[in-house]
Structure 1
Amino acid sequence: MFVIHKKHIIFVSLLLAVLLCGCVLLTALSTSAVSTNGMTIVLDAGHGGIDGGVTGVNSKVKESEINLSIVRLLETQLAGAGFKVVLTRKSEGGLYAPTDKNKKKSDMKKRKEIIEAAEPVAVVSVHQNKFPLSSRKGGQVFFRNDSAQGKALAASIQEEFNALSGGGLSALKGDYYILNCTDYPSVIAECGFLSNPEEDALLNTQEYQKKVAYALYKGIVAFIAHNVAG
């Protein structure tokens, strides 16, 4: 016969309390089974410099600014968990020289060089989305068609994005330079739709940017735990 002792009740109560209110503790728990020794993650803040990306429908804030802000928050979370984090873009400027004739081409080539030098376990390029219908919302992730690990990384982050927004979007195949330029597991994470007035407002607050960064963090850690760490 199974007897419930008082100490069991206390333990269960404490566990429930942790599950309900422990965002910080959850971060620690999610990485406790993953050895981050020697693992490098590249974070790519999309656009920058003369290329601001899309702009908020109401805020008129450039995508490039939001991308960099989220990347910086995510960098802190990942570094705190023991990962080595490499950023392709660290300022509002683009990755090109003033004398470069084709600044976009030079910018993308430099990002490729940074990724290759880092030899990362994952590459996450952070962007913001736009769509003709202003009702479209939620984060969406893209991966290279022939990359099994890229697909797994995208699915892991997509699950966290859906949990954050309450949406049901799926990770999609994408044919983009940042996904194709190397064979490292790479995704483009469109964190929300700046064409949606509600998300435009949210994405311009640090509070929501922190939530987006944490969703990305959890997706990355889950991918590594199931596909890289052994």
Structure 2
Amino acid sequence: MGRAWIGAILGWLVAGAAMAADVHDVRLWRAPDHTRVVFDLTGPSEHNLFVLQNPTRIVLDVTDTRLKTNLSDLQLDNTPIRQVRSAVREGDDLRIVMDMSASVDPRSFSLKANEKAGDRLVVDLFDQNATAAKPAVKKTAQQGSKRDIIIAIDAGHGGEDPGALGPGKRREKDVVLAIARELHRLFQADTGFAPTLIRTGDYYISLKGRRDLARQRQADLFVSIHADAFKRTEANGASVYALSTSGATSTAARYLAQRENAADLVGGVRLSDKDDVLAGVLADLSMTSTLDASLQVGTQVLRNVDNVARLHKKNVEQAGFAVLKSPDIPSILVETGFISNPTEAKRLSTSSYQKKMASAIHAGIRSYMLAHPPSGTLIAWNKAQRGTEYTIASGDTLSGIAQRFNVSLSTLKSTNGIRGSKIMVGQKLTIPAT
């Protein structure tokens, strides 16, 4: 009996020791409107966060946890954190103190281990004066009130979510941000276009948050850039995807959508961040031209990418990508290649190839937008000034055509370089805009 009690006590002691967690790493990212600090844990742990004033300090008490990393290695430049220090509290608890140089709105939450990452404790410090961090998006072009076409460029992943990992420690989040920045530069040089980067640096944004930013900036098109991995390293080639309101068009499309949608597991999306009216969104998509426009622009992009890279699929594929679920913005996702493939990973990491891929995406989007410009834009106005084309049919006369299109006969003749009144069946006329 005595031995049984001793065994039970030893079991309780071992179980108690196993319940203690270690902080084995601390990571920090700066976003335009907040700073995120992530504590990587060896197991789950309870915590409490509170604020002390004069001076301002953010205090984090973590139950039954030990610090096994160096806080002094954190890069605190361009953050509201002046210093991070720690202490042992009540024997087994860990206290983290962040001395602040500016006021913030702190929020914290725990994340349970999943297939993408281990247990974590996340602290988000939101700037109280974040208006200056919002990027300026041109709403109008120089000619009167005719606005620019706004292209929202989304570099996938970021921050604690590196995305797919390739040989040589290559990270998807770095490759796609470089391509996104080059694409942004190309559109900036175009008259009538106003690009905006959804992610401007190395920080995490939820999938819904990316869609929300595009909508806040009144985007006419959303393009998300990725370089994913596949189960087989020999998989290669670029692809373009649009949203599917039903099933995926292939097994690979379904697999990639599941991988991309799992990004929120890494970033810590909570239940309150989920879509409340997802079914309604999909219903709206099926009743509007948004999805059709997505497929059309995706086709144009795919044709241009074909000149730069081998295509994984010859057609635009579809799957349930959460980042594409905007009911009012045509949205595409471009997989620039498989970073899990050694050859493609090496190519994707070079500046020359990143520029070629950005140029191909730019050419495809630009081609579509020049042919189908949103109303009220400078591009639409310029297109209207070039007039419409009319093919002369049997029985047509110049005066009758002029009357039909409500233009003067002299304007119709001068526009088409006609001196007399002779016309031929099948001849094409440009009808000037009125």
Which of the five TM-score ranges fits, normalised by the shorter chain? Answer: 0.7 to 0.9
- Give the alignment of 1:91-110 within 5 angstroms: 91-95=201-205, 107-110=206-209
Superposed CA offset, 1:80-126 (max 9, x none): 0131111111001113xxxxxxxxxxx22321221111222211000
Match of 1:199 among 333, 338, 344: 344
Note if contact 2:336-2:357 (Cα within 8 Å) is conserved in structure 1. yes
Note if contact 1:138-1:162 (Cα within 8 Å) is conserved in structure 2. no
More strand per residue? 2
Q: CA deviation at 1:135?
A: 2.7
Paired residue for 1:114? 213
**Pair 1:130 & 2:275 matched:** no
Q: Higher Cα Rg: structure 1 or 2?
A: 2
Amino acid at match of 1:167: L
Q: Distance in 2 between matches of 1:226 and 1:63?
A: 32
Note if contact 2:236-2:312 (Cα within 8 Å) is conserved in structure 1. no
Superposed CA offset, 1:59-89 (max 9, x none): 2211011111110011000110131111111
Q: Structure 1 length normalisation: TM-score?
A: 0.75
Q: CA RMSD in A?
A: 1.7
Q: CA deviation at 1:168?
A: 6.1
Match of 1:55 among 165, 177, 181: 165
Q: Structure 2 length normalisation: TM-score?
A: 0.40
Paired residue for 1:152? 296
Paired residue for 1:86? 196
Note if contact 1:160-1:218 (Cα within 8 Å) is conserved in structure 2. yes
Q: CA deviation at 1:137?
A: 1.8
Q: Distance in 2 between matches of 1:53 and 1:118?
A: 25
Q: Distance in 1 between matches of 2:147 and 2:351?
A: 30
Paired residue for 1:31? none
Amino acid at match of 1:122: L
Match of 1:143 among 242, 247, 260: 242
**Pair 1:42 & 2:141 matched:** no
Q: Distance in 1 between matches of 2:327 and 2:215?
A: 7
Structure 1 residues 188 and 60: CA distance shift in structure 2, 3 A? same
**Pair 1:65 & 2:174 matched:** yes
Q: Distance in 2 between matches of 1:209 and 1:168?
A: 18
More helix per residue? 1
Superposed CA offset, 1:8-55 (max 9, x none): xxxxxxxxxxxxxxxxxxxxxxxxxxxx95210000011011111101
Same amino acid, percent of matched pairs: 27
Note if contact 2:238-2:310 (Cα within 8 Å) is conserved in structure 1. no
Structure 1: gaps (5+ residues): 1-35, 96-106
Note if contact 2:241-2:318 (Cα within 8 Å) is conserved in structure 1. yes
Say which structure, 1 or 2, has more relative contact order (CA 8 Å, 6+ apart).
1
- Give the alignment of 1:3-18 within 5 angstroms: none
Note if contact 1:138-1:161 (Cα within 8 Å) is conserved in structure 2. no
